[in-house]
Amino acid sequence: MDEMTVSASATLADLSRLLQGYLNDGAVGVSLAFSRGDGEIATVTSGLSDRARGIPVSPTQLFKIGSCTKTFTVAALMKLAESGAVDLGTPISHWFPDLPGAAAISVRQLVNHRGGLPEFEYDIPMTLDRIWTPAELVDLAFQVGGQTAPGGPAVYNNTGYVLAGMLIEAVTGQPLGTYVRHHVLEPLGLENTWSPSTESFPQERMVRGYYHRPPPAADAGSSVAAGAEMWRMDGVLPYSDALQDSSDSFPFTAAYGCGDMVSTPGDMVAFMRTLFGGRLLTDGMFREMSEGRVAVSFPGTRMRETGVGLFQSSYADRLLYGHQGSIPGYVTVMQHEPISGLTIAMTSNVGSGYRMSFYASGLHQLLDRAVGIILDG
């Protein structure tokens, strides 16, 4: 066995122990994949994909990836811009003439969190069997949220990504998932990623998700930043200190282009390293995503600056670029570190509506240590 093989084996063993520690702290299942440059994608898994049936997590099982969907949506939008079908500076009133303030909002601002659009995520009712249309999500946002002038500070916004998906469908005449598949997934050979709100997918490969919903603290404020629960779970799951199965609590159609996708860490690593390697988009389109960033302040996250579909985040005292996602019962993070060429993705099937909870934030602490193991030994 040569020295490089010994080193790689030691790294995988250390990562396996790290994941086991995460389970010991209360997680259920976790999957990790990484590569250095264009090297082999290594995957490590631990724990259970289904507690009731005792099924272990495997590398090809699917996790809900939440807002990591946004990077795929933007990549699809950039392919349209690359072809000349969409100009990112065009006011969105071209497609949405009846949307309030649309004449002042550019296509670019839909996806850089600076469109000033109202938000719907914290107010959407968890109606388990409801099939949402994208237009209904936008209507809900304007019913429950406030609109501000575009071009101001970056404020995390899902509504812009719903509109971006609707725009892609309007321009192409295809369902969003179909366009993403034909122009992003298939060209990269990604066979374990789907958009369930607009295409069928192998549901039998999904891991179950588990949600921690303890009674709120007495001093919890009414806003998410002050400690309130992110999602409206009343009538869906009771308060409990025990983890509860939340696999079906957030309909895929309620997430659409801002968070509906399912994938594996291996596919996410393949996607991210191709994106950063310049093999998916032209240099100009990738710079639209990665440059022109502005500072953000999102409590309970590692995100420091936002571009378009990509955030600069801090892990292991390094600046990485990518996205994170959270949806009831699932947390995901996918990142690229340009200096070392490390691309890494992790998925977990536990989550919480309380941002600072271990079940919501523990995966990010895990990524700190995983990056350190891979890069520092």
Q: Give the pLDDT score at 300.
A: 62
Distance CA 55, CA 163 (A): 38
- Average pLDDT estimate for 212-229: 77
- Average pLDDT estimate for 123-142: 94
Distance CA 35, CA 173 (A): 36
Q: Taking 60 as the threshold, does the pLDDT of residue 94 lie above it? A: yes
Best CA proximity match to 368, nearest among 340, 339, 344: 344
Neighbours of 195 (CB within 10 A): 28
Strand order in the sheet with 350-352: 240-245, 210-213, 350-352
- Average pLDDT estimate for 230-243: 93
Helix (H) or strand (E) holding 135, with range, is helix 134-144
Q: How far is CA 113 from each of CA 38, 70, 154, rounded to the nearest angstrom?
A: 31, 11, 5
pLDDT confidence band for 4 (50 / 70 / 90): very low
Residues 346 and 374: beta-carbon distance below 8 Å: no
Distance CA 211, CA 27 (A): 10
Q: Which residue type sits at 365?
A: Q
Q: Give the pLDDT score at 301.
A: 75
Provide the sign of the torsion angle of the four alpha carbons 146, 149, 155, 161, taken in this order: positive
Q: Give the pLDDT score at 8.
A: 78
- Average pLDDT estimate for 198-219: 93
Q: Give the pLDDT score at 220.
A: 67
Q: Give the pLDDT score at 222.
A: 64
Q: Give the pLDDT score at 6.
A: 40
Q: Which of 5-19, 144-158, 240-254 has the lowest mean pLDDT?
A: 5-19
Residues 312 and 327: beta-carbon distance below 8 Å: no
pLDDT confidence band for 299 (50 / 70 / 90): low
Q: Give the pLDDT score at 199.
A: 97
- Average pLDDT estimate for 60-65: 98
pLDDT, tens digit, 9 for 90 and up, residues 314-330: 999 999 999 999 999 99
How high does pLDDT run on average in the chain? 94
Q: How many domains does the chain have?
A: 1
- Average pLDDT estimate for 151-166: 96
What is the percent of the chain where pLDDT is above 90?
Answer: 89
- Average pLDDT estimate for 76-103: 97
Residues 206 and 31: beta-carbon distance below 8 Å: no
Range of the domain at 280: 3-376
Q: Taking 60 as the threshold, does the pLDDT of residue 3 lie above it? A: no
Q: Give the pLDDT score at 218.
A: 73
Q: Taking 70 as the threshold, does the pLDDT of residue 226 lie above it? A: no
- Tokens 């996918």 belong to residue: 334
Quote the Cα angle for 207-33-255, to 5°.
Answer: 45
pLDDT, tens digit, 9 for 90 and up, residues 349-372: 999 999 889 999 999 999 999 999
Q: Taking 60 as the threshold, does the pLDDT of residue 5 lie above it? A: no
Distance CA 365, CA 311 (A): 17
Q: How far is CA 190 from each of CA 130, 204, 262, rounded to the nearest angstrom?
A: 29, 18, 12
Q: Give the pLDDT score at 221.
A: 65
Best CA proximity match to 329, nearest among 210, 244, 248: 210
Q: Give the pLDDT score at 127.
A: 85
- Average pLDDT estimate for 255-283: 97
pLDDT confidence band for 2 (50 / 70 / 90): very low
Give me the CATH number covering residue 323: 3.40.710.10
Distance CA 326, CA 298 (A): 14
